[in-house]
């Protein structure tokens, strides 16, 4: 399948028809693709009508601006800690070995602390 997908654009550069992995000519993409009228007529209950190409163009991002905000507000009161022994709080070499994604570390320095955390991720596809 991948061979057929890659062969189709390359065939446009040559005079030979595109061949798949077993030498067969892959079907034309246009034969299986829905027409614009079919795409416009699609409706999913509860989601409404799909946006038109013009609406998507008007609403798309990419203006270079970004506004992000996170408001955290917490209170610690009326707590007490007596004869508390806390453990070590260390990050050593290799602590994040093999970590994937966006690792977030929250460390507690002792008793009666308020830990607040927020992460804002701004993805831009260009």
Query: Is the Cβ–Cβ distance between 70 and 120 less than 8 Å?
Result: yes
Which of helix, strand or coil describes residue 105?
A: coil
Q: Which helix (H) or strand (E) holds 29?
A: helix 29-32
Give the up-direction half-sphere exposure of residue 82: CA atoms within 13 A in the CB hemisphere.
1
Distance, CA of 81 to CA of 65 (rounded, Å): 47
Q: Using the predicted structure, report yes or no on whether residue 40 has a pLDDT greater than 70.
A: no
pLDDT at 12 over 50: no
Condensed to tens digits (0 to 9), the pLDDT of residues 66-123 reads 788 889 899 888 888 888 887 777 888 988 899 999 888 888 877 888 888 888 888 7
Element (H, E) at 11: helix 2-11
Q: How far apart are CA 61 and CA 53, in angstroms?
A: 14
The domain ranges of the chain are 1-39
Question: What's the pLDDT score for residue 100?
Answer: 92
């Amino acid at each position: 399948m991948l061979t057929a997908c890659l062969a189709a654009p390359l065939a446009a550069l040559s005079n030979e028809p595109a061949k798949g992995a077993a030498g067969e000519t892959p079907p034309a993409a246009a034969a299986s693709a829905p027409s614009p009228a079919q795409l416009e007529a699609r409706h999913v209950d509860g989601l409404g009508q799909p946006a038109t190409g013009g609406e998507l163009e008007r609403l798309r991002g990419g203006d270079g601006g970004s506004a992000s905000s996170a408001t955290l507000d917490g209170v610690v009161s009326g707590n007490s800690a007596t004869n508390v022994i806390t453990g070590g709080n260390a990050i050593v070499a290799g602590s994040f070995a093999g970590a994937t994604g966006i690792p977030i570390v929250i460390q507690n320095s002792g008793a009666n602390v308020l830990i607040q955390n927020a992460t804002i991720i701004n993805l831009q596809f260009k």
